[in-house]
Amino acid sequence: MGEILVFLGPPGAGKGTLASWYREKTGARHISTGDVLRQAVKDGTEVGKVAAGYMDAGKLVPLEVILDVLFEAVPNFSEGTILLDGFPRTVEQAEALDQRLSEKGLEVNRVVLFEIPDEDVVKRLSSRLLCPECGAVYNLESAPPKQEGVCDACGESLIRRRDDEPDSIRERLKVYWDSTAPLVSYYKERGKLIPIDASKGIQEVRAELEKVSG
């Protein structure tokens, strides 16, 4: 029997990095709404055209768009372990997810909260690099590529995400504290929340995640 796992936390907390590791380790299906949206922007789809402006500005994509994106990416929640990274991000989204899951007799099983101070977020996002081809994520400080500016996995030139500019980082943090942080009490009240200290080094965060995620 699979389960539905959510990674919750501020931008740059390491959700995507740890989700990739968790997927490789467990075979879980990793759905990052941010990755799906970035692909849609790259492909120039209708969703991508709507989403691009919100994403660059660090704002949330509208509810109806993000629900379409999620339910298209995961038409059936009952197969295997599903790891949701970047969704839900508002109480409204969490309620829509609960509603959809309850129709199938399912529920969110566990929510791992990545806790990290804002100043660490700013440092991490200012030194993040991304491969536009295969999506691999690097960090000039903590996880640099072997060859400067080049993806280890596919050899493509690395780029900075457009929303990793200072104004956008500030807005994303504001959106997190205004709209996403209320999910902490939402899931705590339901007995699903597992906080971990995401400000530690990658190996330590992995070890903590391993302990709590079974």
Total of residues contacting ligand AP5 (CB under 6 A): 35
Amino acid letter, 5: L
Catalytic residues: 15, 89, 128, 161, 172
CB of 137 to ligand AP5, least distance (A): 5
| 30 touching ligand AP5, by CB under 6 A | no
Q: How many residues does the chain have?
A: 214
| 28 touching ligand AP5, by CB under 6 A | no
Burial profile 35-54: b = 16 or more Cβ within 10 angstroms, e = fewer: bbbbebbeeeeebbebbbeb
Cα distance between residue 159 and residue 60, in whole Å: 22
DSSP label at 159? B
DSSP 166-178: HHHHHHHHHHIII
Residue nearest to ligand AP5 (CB): 34
Task: Provide the mask over 58-97, with x wherever binding to ligand AP5 is found by CB under 6 A and - wherever it is not.
Answer: xxxx----x-------------------xx-x---x----
Helix (H, G, I), strand (E, B) or coil at 32: strand
| 13 touching ligand AP5, by CB under 6 A | yes
Among 4, 12, 41, 82, binds ligand AP5 (CB under 6 A): 12
Tokens 């609960």 -> residue: 98
Cα distance between residue 166 and residue 163, in whole Å: 8
Task: Provide the mask over 101-140, with x wherever binding to ligand AP5 is found by CB under 6 A and - wherever it is not.
Answer: -----------------------x---x--------xxx-
Helix (H, G, I), strand (E, B) or coil at 210: helix
Give me the residues that bind ligand AP5 (CB under 6 A), please.
Answer: 9, 11-17, 32-34, 37, 54-55, 58-61, 66, 86-87, 89, 93, 124, 128, 137-139, 142-143, 163, 172, 201-202, 205
